[in-house]
Structure 1
Amino acid sequence: MTGHTFDIAIVGGGLAGGLIALAVTQARPDLTLRLIEAGAQPGGNHRWSWFASDLPAGGDALLAPFGKTAWNHGYDVSFPGHSRHLASRYCSLASEDFAATLARELPAGAILTGAEAASLDAGGVTLGDGRRIDARAVIDCRGFAPTASLSGGWQVFMGRHLRVSRPHGLTAPVIMDATVAQLGGYRFVYVLPLGERELFIEDTYYQDEPTLDHAALNARLDDYARTQGWDGDILGSETGVLPVITGGDFAAFQAEQRIEGVSVAGARGGFVHPLTSYTLPFAVATALAVTAEADLPGDQLATKLETMAREHWRAMGFYRLLGRMLFGAALPEERYRVFERFYRLSERLIERFYAGRSTMADRARVLAGKPPVPVSRAVAALTRPAPPLRAPEHKDYP
């Protein structure tokens, strides 16, 4: 398009917005776009990880330009009564590599950082400093907005990038080490061996409240590293509070986010795995879908993404049910038993679970047999209303 009007303006340079910008650039270099990010760089301070089996067709090609770490020979899990190695390929992408790739791959000037959006409308974006960016289509990717329309619990975490003083000896990621003390919710430590002397370790909790105690989590990461014999330098850290969605009124949630004629994508649009809080596979699928319809007028693209989000909500019902049982039926210190039992199931079933593509047979298998929680509590959890996903008092959203 000509002048100062762009084909697409994307507000929010996180995972969803960045991947849409990249996908459109790869497939439709004739289109003009702006990626508008309030922070100093796209991606913020975060790390995204995924199983290779999570990605839809076309996903590998979209992610190919990124400098990521991959473990081709699987990963480990460890629980008090069960440990296992699984062969699924695992990948991880750090936000600095995400930002560097977008800067390299997108057209010069396409990324606008340090730009807070004051308002969005069907014809463009008005920035906080009064500047106006006009666009045929506007896509809102500003992240999950806490809401009373959805219910559930929270995944709270603190991660730390370490350079240790001697080789750590790990050859595979530890996706869940739940042998640690269970403190008020399902707790596990997540460990990625990034190099011979580099590690990323993260202390994660499935808990009822969105409380992130920085001092406590820092101390627990210190203790875990000390127990493993890892001493060295801290290269970086991150924190986050993610929703674990177990129910709610999705139509009301969509109405809260809706700006007439503006598309909504990413977690803000509901494109998440409700139990694991994973977003990357769905961000990839959305980016590819937007690219396929990149010539649509903005209002038609908005309608298409709303419809996709409703279909995604319906498809994720099984995982919301499991989340209600996890939070409502299992005592906080016993929640690990749910995951311990799950990791005794077949590897392909586990892959489909994380990808959000569980078959009817998978669902029956997950629910079959002796449950890891009392049946009476499980039944009660399915009828008892869950707490709303209201905003926490701090600002630790990714």
Structure 2
Amino acid sequence: MTTPDADVAILGGGLAGGLIALALHTRRPDLRLLLIERDDRLGGNHVWSFFATDLDAAGTALVEPLIAARWQGYTIRFPRYTRELGSAYNSVTSERFDAALRATLPAAAIRTGTEVRAATPTSVTLADGQVLQVGGVIDARGAAVLPHLTGGWQKFVGRMIRTARPHGLERPVVMDATVAQLDGYRFVYCLPFGPDRVFVEDTYYADEPALDVPVLRQRVADYCAAAGWEIAEVLGEETGVLPVVAGGDFAAFRAATDQGVAQAGIRAGLFQPLTSYSLPDAVRYALSIAGSANLSGTGLLAASRAWGEAHWRKSAFYRMLTAMLFGAAAPAERYRVLQRFYGLDSRLIERFYAGGTTMTDKLRILTGKPPVPISAAIRAITGGVPFAPLDHGAPAAGACA
């Protein structure tokens, strides 16, 4: 009998795939893993951030080696108020992600610069024609389209900047919505990685996925100038167009995307529908896979489908909020929805990002003076407003929030 080339092959070395490889190796070091990435570096070109309260003890231990920066507290800015919140905030950079995975996984477990042409539950065909026989396959290569789902887009351009002088920013500005409201809900996101190093991202909740990178670069430069930050050097850039899901047919989506192979990450629909926030879900899913008793191709497929269906059911409230944001508020007025939300109790906000919104939280979010017309909100959540299909555009794996 021929010995398989690996026990588990993971296609895609981005956030979802890398975390699965890390969890499997940490929990089950006897497994022969193969992490296959088409680019030369694992993790692509991203900054992923999360609140400390997003993860339990096991999740925290898994991502600890990946954290490039951490802060105690963050700032929110809206036209009506500025608020300081105390939740600990952490960021993972692609550079740290790549270095940590290479330091932890056996060298033979990582294949970068390798394109995958096709996959079955137990085999991987590479672009050069080589066929690898494996015990099981997980496809985590991101998603170019999300068929059978509807909603809008979160799109952004982020630039890592070295300032000519210390910028003076001591904690992250997770959302600065005092900027001009253009192309939907717009905010700027700032992470101080050092006294003269700051990541500045211009973000939009928009109806269309088109991303005008030169225009957003200029808006980042204008924001820095207004803050008094002279740009000495641009150290890196990240762009992204991520799905924001309001509804759809999940069974049809799954059938169109998995085609009999276990999925992970964006292509599995494993992200927060309103924020496109993916790290907590990626961590939980990775730990679940690592604890699975059946890592065969069929076992992984069954686990993938069950997890995805459960996530879709649990995310119904967040999809309803997406429908209200996009369907009940005029693009330039969408900021009012977030402005109201960030005025609520800080523990509610923490649970929201962690995907643990309680029934009491839901009632609190939906009661009180509405930031949008009630009639418009009802139309949006009862199907009276058509939402764009997410089967066009070019969503990118990973998120900055």
TM-score range for the pair, normalised by the shorter chain length? over 0.9
Shift of 1:170: 1.1
Q: Distance in 2 between matches of 1:277 and 1:173?
A: 19
Q: Closer, same or farther in 2 for the Cα pair 1:310/1:32, shift >3 Å?
A: same
Helix, strand or coil at the partner of 1:31: coil
Aligned to 1:153, the other structure's residue is in SS state strand
Residues 101-116 of structure 1 mapped to structure 2, 5 A cutoff: 101-116=100-115
Q: Which residue of 1 aligns with 2:209?
A: 210
Cross-structure match for 1:79:
78
1:57 Cα shift?
3.9
Residues 193 and 199 of structure 1 are in contact (CA less than 8 Å); yes or no, is this contact kept in structure 2?
yes
Paired with 1:235 and 1:138, the residues of 2 have a C-alpha distance of 36
2:194 equivalent to 1:179? no
Structure 2's unaligned 5+ residue stretches are none
Residues 125-140 of structure 1 correspond to what in structure 2 (within 5 A)?
125-140=124-139
CA contact (8 A) 2:152 2:390 kept: yes
Could you tell me how far 1:5 is from its partner in structure 2? 2.3
* Partner of residue 120, structure 2: 121
One-letter code aligned to 2:389: P
The aligned counterpart of 1:389 is: 390
Task: Return the alpha-carbon distance in structure 1 between the equivalents of residues 264 and 240 of structure 2.
Answer: 20
In structure 1, runs of 5+ residues without a counterpart are: none
Q: Secondary structure at the match of 2:87?
A: coil
The amino acid that maps onto 2:234 is I
* Corresponding residue number in structure 2 for 1:324: 323
* Contact kept in structure 2, 1:120 and 1:259, CA below 8 Å: no
How many Å separate the matches in 2 of 1:46 and 1:19? 15
Q: Structure 1's 240 and 28: CA in aligned 2 closer, same or farther, altered over 3 A?
A: same
SS in 1 for 2:107: coil
- Please give the alpha-carbon distance, in whole angstroms, between the structure 1 residues aligned to 2:281 and 2:80: 33
Cα RMSD after superposing both structures: 1.4
Distance 1:273 1:173 in 2: 21
Tell whether 2:242 aligns with 1:242: yes
Q: Which amino acid aligns with 1:254?
A: R
How far has the Cα of 1:67 moved from its partner?
Answer: 4.2
Deviation at 1:397, TM superposition (A): 5.8
From the superposition, tell whether residues 265 and 397 of structure 1 become closer, same or farther in structure 2 (CA, over 3 Å): closer
Q: CA-to-partner distance for each residue in 1:329-349, whole Å, 9 max, x for gaps? A: 101001000000001100000
Choose 377-386 or 355-364, whichever is displaced more: 377-386
Instruction: Please say if residues 177 and 187 of structure 2, whose CA atoms lie closer than 8 Å, have aligned partners that are also in contact.
Output: yes
User: 1:56 touches 1:284 (CA, 8 Å); kept in 2?
Assistant: no
SS in 2 for 1:148: coil
- Shift in alpha-carbon separation, 1:115–1:27, aligned structure 2, 3 A: same
Deviations 1:185-226 (A, max 9, x none): 000000001011110000000000001001210110110011
1:36 paired to 2:36: yes
Give the TM-score taking structure 2 as reference length: 0.96
- Indicate the larger mover: 348-357 or 296-305: 296-305
Aligned residue runs from structure 1 range 333-348, under 5 A: 333-348=332-347
The reply to whether residue 355 of structure 1 matches residue 354 of structure 2 is yes
**8 Å contact from structure 2 (residues 123, 133) kept in 1:** yes
**What letter is aligned with 2:34?**
R
* 2:246–2:319 Cα contact (<8 Å) kept: yes
Give the secondary-structure state (helix, strand or coil) at the position aligned to 1:64.
helix
Amino acid across the alignment from 1:59: G
Q: Please, what TM-score do these two structures have when normalized by structure 1? A: 0.97
How many pairs align?
395
CA distance in 2, matches of 1:251, 1:212: 30
The alpha-carbon deviation at position 147 of structure 1 amounts to 2.9
Q: Give the letter aligned to residue 121 of structure 2.
A: A
> 1:22, 1:163 → 2: CA distance?
32
1:186-205 mapped onto 2 (5 Å cutoff): 186-205=185-204
Q: Which residue in 1 is equivalent to 2:14?
A: 14
Q: Please say if residues 274 and 319 of structure 1, whose CA atoms lie closer than 8 Å, have aligned partners that are also in contact.
A: yes
Q: 1:24–1:294: 8 Å Cα contact kept in structure 2?
A: no
Deviations 1:38-97 (A, max 9, x none): 1111111111000011113401110122242000x2000000011100000000011011
Structure 1 residue 144: deviation in Å?
2.5
Counterpart of 2:198, as a letter, is L
CA offsets 1:140-169 (integer angstroms, 9 cap, x no match)? 001134133000000000000011111111
* CA distance in structure 2 between the partners assigned to 1:309 and 1:56 by the alignment: 20
Shift of residue 390, structure 1, vs aligned partner: 2.0
Deviations 1:340-367 (A, max 9, x none): 0001100000000011110000000000
- The answer to whether the 8 A contact 1:67-1:101 is kept is no
